[in-house]
Amino acid sequence: MRPIDALVSALPEGRVQTDPDVVGSYARDRTFLEPGKPLGVVLAVSRDDVVTTMKWASEHRVPVVPRGGGTGLAGASVAGDGTIIVSLAKMTAIKELSPADEIAVVEPGVITADLDRAAREHGLMYAPDPSSYQISTIGGNLATNAGGLRCVKYGVTRDSALGLEVVLADGRVLNTGRRTMKGVTGYDLTGLFVGSEGTLGVITAATVRLRRAPAGAPATFAAEFGSLRDAGAAVSAIMAAGCQPSLMELLDRATLEAINDMRNFGLEADTTAMLIGQSDAGDGQAVAERMERICMENGASFVAVSSSPQEAEELIGLRRLAYDAKERLGACLVEDVCVPRSVLPDMISAIEATAARHGVKICTVAHAGDGNLHPVFIFDRGSVEPPAEVWAAADEIFTHALELGGTLTGEHGVGLLKQRWLAMEAGPVAAEVQRGIKAVFDPLGILNPGKAI
């Protein structure tokens, strides 16, 4: 009997799928990376399904690849040969939503936007806001410590994670954290699991923090610039002025052209960069107008403040189209460097210079308020992987980000794609410590092997 037959027998009928076409649809994420040939996929609907799977996997030494919605951009949920995929997409219950305590308890398959909508029925919101919020899952966001458009004010996913239920490699269930806003008992195991990319355990429930939703519609502005460096300087000036925007997004010319080709919004010929900012403060309109003035002082050719919630939503909608618009141009290597805000203009200039030097098309968007840039390298869709000049350009950009005091990834995670650069940032001592942590939680090395560290 094949080892997987024992798993099929141990789980309810239909939970384990082995048809190659079905399995293949769960084996990749949104990167160009080609998956291997997994043994099957477990369509988990409960924690018990995950417990049974992990006990089986430990007994038979089968590697496990957890996945949520498959929207990852670093290859963390790409499945290799001989693995079993555990899909958590069917675990979609919002088990509790407490307006009094401003928390929710959710399963990992809950769509980010669905949790936010449920919270807003009670005058609350779920703050993390990745661009994929309409299709990405809470579990996937926890696994990568996702950020998003609102992270400039509200932080990344870890800042909203209070406690987790995690199934360990041997099938034991670990509960971390708490329901309270404060708590320092023991080590911060919740923070350790958030961002671990499925290499330490499988998250089956999360207690997350909700926040009071703004009383009124946020005020939004859009500013056009003749140079990316001027736009970056405006961002630095806005943050230095203490404006506390709830959103601050930067789009370069290549990205704007891709969006304009997809949905014509009247892109001007002399616009090299666009800055979209938002304030959800009580005096948001005044703050937006202050940010407008700062943009003009830093070289903006045109600035407009939205006059209605519909106008504001249209502006934010342009930003959310960025990745889909770039996918229309070819295959994408999506990167994710983060630098201190004060050197954002320098990093932007370096990306421009690198693209020109290597003859590579790079479309850049940024969560500019916290220095998180997404240079997206476009290459021929028929290529198995990026050509040499793309890798060379990426090498330069990552090296420069680290030289500026930055990091290789602000929110997408390491996955498979950033393995080649990991040693540049982590160093030998950090690498040894992380391998030691991995060994404690996963001594057999079966949890998402080859990812993250």
Q: What is the pLDDT of residues 127-141, one digit of tens each?
A: 999 988 999 999 999
281-294 residue pLDDT tens: 999 999 999 999 99
pTM assigned to the model: 0.93
pLDDT number for residue 320: 87
Q: 211 forms bridges with which residues in the sheet?
A: 125
Phi-psi region of 446 (alpha: psi -120 to 50; beta: other; left: phi over 0): alpha
- Cα–Cα nearest to 69, from 30, 42, 31: 30
Contacts of 342 (CB under 8 A, 6+ apart): 236
165-212 residue pLDDT tens: 999 999 999 999 999 988 899 999 999 999 999 999 999 999 999 999
- Which tokens in the block code for residue 58? 């430990």
pLDDT number for residue 347: 93
**Mean pLDDT value across residues 85-98:** 98
330-378 residue pLDDT tens: 999 998 999 998 898 899 889 999 999 999 999 999 999 999 999 999 9
pLDDT number for residue 148: 87
Phi and psi (nearest 5°) for 217? -70, 140
pLDDT number for residue 453: 86
**Does residue 255 register a pLDDT over 90?**
yes
Using a pLDDT cut of 90, give the percent of the chain over it: 82
Contacts of 388 (CB under 8 A, 6+ apart): none
Give the chain's domains with CATH numbers: 3-87 (3.30.43.10), 94-212 (3.30.465.10), 216-327 (3.30.70.2190), 330-440 (3.30.70.2740)
Average pLDDT, the chain: 94
Question: What's the helix, strand, coil split of the chain in %, to 5?
Answer: 40, 25, 40
Contacts of 391 (CB under 8 A, 6+ apart): none
